A = this chain, B = another copy of it.
Amino acid sequence: MAVATALASRGRGRTAPNPNVGCVIVQDGRVIGRGWTQPGGRPHAEAMALDQAGEAARGATAYVTLEPCAHQSLRGPACADLLAEAGVARVVAALRDPDPRTDGEGFARLRAHGLTVDVGTGAEEARRAMAGFLTRRAFGRPHVTLKLGLSLDGKIALANGSSRWITGAPARAHAHLERARADAILVGRGTFAADAPKLDVRLRGLEERAPRRFILASTKPQIEETGWSWLPAPNLIGKLVGVDHLLIEGGAGVAASFLRDDLVDRLLLYRAPIVIGGDGLPGIGDLGIGALLDTHGRWALHDARMLGMDRLEVYERRRKG
């Protein structure tokens, strides 16, 4: 399932509104097919993996990150039927598909065809890999990552506004990779004015993966012919069609407005081993929190590692549902 989850991640940021699924078909301990949802959402992961496996799929086990779909569409047959027709004997799925057109129907159809079905293996990692799709299904909005490049004392710039550079090259390269994995990025008016030309993907081989770009501004900004779009308020992100993974790149006011509305699902902290002091600019604007108790229990550390001299920390918002 770990392999299927890794394959699922390949489609991240390119399959919305479809889920980015990963699929591995195994026969006698040998991988005979690998698939992941292709850009635009088709072919599905299962179809791609079955195509690779061919006749060898007979009697094999398919590992999928999400319940195979039960609905035919103009663009292809239902994956549950495809798996059965290919003779697959067993399907192991990490998660049930919340899409009402499937939502248990995929499993039921597999079982009706005589396949063995197991659900739940590797669910946590699969949930992370398909966070955009699942957040859209659960909350009707994209999965939101807030990225901050901080000093040890939480500053994003000196008092004079200088922020080049807080973090080193390895951390900045990682941030570009995160950008390539998002459907869209969003900045505030100030960050747009200062950094707009630089908000692309500068990793060899991934130049094409530049996400769509939005400015958060209460009044319409001057963005004709810039390739940028306007978002008037954080709570309108649910209306961004084809955006299931949104990356917030700054500045402090944008960060604060999304945090105030509890619309941040993931904190991506790049922390440089430097101290800037209280006269530096904070990474997050005013939140107006009245009691410390209200701040606890929201965030859990998911990952921490070194990127050159800097430290990456990923915190996830703990939510029900």
Contact = CB atoms under 8 A, between A and B. Distances in A.
A279 B282 CA distance: 9
Given A277-B256, A299-B274, A160 B290 contact: yes
Interface stretch (A32-40, A128-136, A148-156, A174-182): A148-156
A45 to B, nearest CB: 34
This chain's copy number in the assembly: 2
A24 to B, nearest CB: 33
B160 A150 contact: no
A276 B299 CA distance: 12
A318 to B, nearest CB: 9
Interface in A285-321: 285-292, 295-296, 298-301, 304, 306, 311, 313, 315
Given A288-B277, A301-B273, A152 B152 contact: no
A163 interface: yes
Interface string A80-106: 000000000000000000000000000
Given A154-B150, A154-B155, A287 B292 contact: no
B315 A273 contact: yes
Given A152-B315, A269-B152, A278 B274 contact: no
A263 interface: no
Contacts of A169: none
A164 interface: yes
A261 to B, nearest CB: 13
A160 B280 CA distance: 21
A162 B285 contact: no
Nearest to A279: B286
A267 interface: yes
A259 B274 CA distance: 12
Nearest to A259: B275
Contacts of A269: 152
B275 A295 contact: yes
B158 A289 contact: yes
A252 interface: yes
A123 interface: no
B151 A295 contact: yes
A139 interface: no
B299 A275 contact: yes
B259 A291 contact: no
Contacts of A158: 289-292
